[in-house]
Amino acid sequence: MTGLVQVSRESASLRQQVTERLRLSILEGDLRPGQKLVERELCDALKISRTLLREALQQLQAEGLIATVLHKGPFVALIGADHIHGNVQRAVRNQLEEDSGERHALRGA
């Protein structure tokens, strides 16, 4: 699983960071449509717990980026261009809001 690196501990919650890292890996093609997501491999690559990974996968499943097959586990969903565009917009908006919040917190300190 190339393209995945350990998650650093920043201002966003660790779950948010993991979710964003996986989302970007899917949208950038590091995790390919139809690819099985092996929890043990992802946990090792990201240096995170299984519980944290499962929370992130649930969020991505709600967004339609992950599909879970009964008795087989999670796979990267087959997604269209409209879905990718919407997710990229959401990721940019989240990053801008996070950056704005950090600047606001620094001014108040």
All structural domains of the chain with their residue ranges: 14-108
Q: Distance between CA atoms of 108 and 65, rounded to whole angstroms?
A: 37
Q: How confident is the model over 15-43, as pLDDT tens digits?
A: 999 999 999 999 889 999 999 999 999 99
Q: How confident is the model over 38-82, as pLDDT tens digits?
A: 999 999 999 999 999 999 999 999 999 999 999 999 999 986 555
Q: Distance between CA atoms of 65 and 63, rounded to whole angstroms?
A: 6
Beta bridge pairs of residue 66: 76
Q: What is the pLDDT of residue 95?
A: 72
pTM: 0.65
Q: Distance between CA atoms of 7 and 17, rounded to whole angstroms?
A: 7
CATH topology of domain 14-108: Arc Repressor Mutant, subunit A (1.10.10)
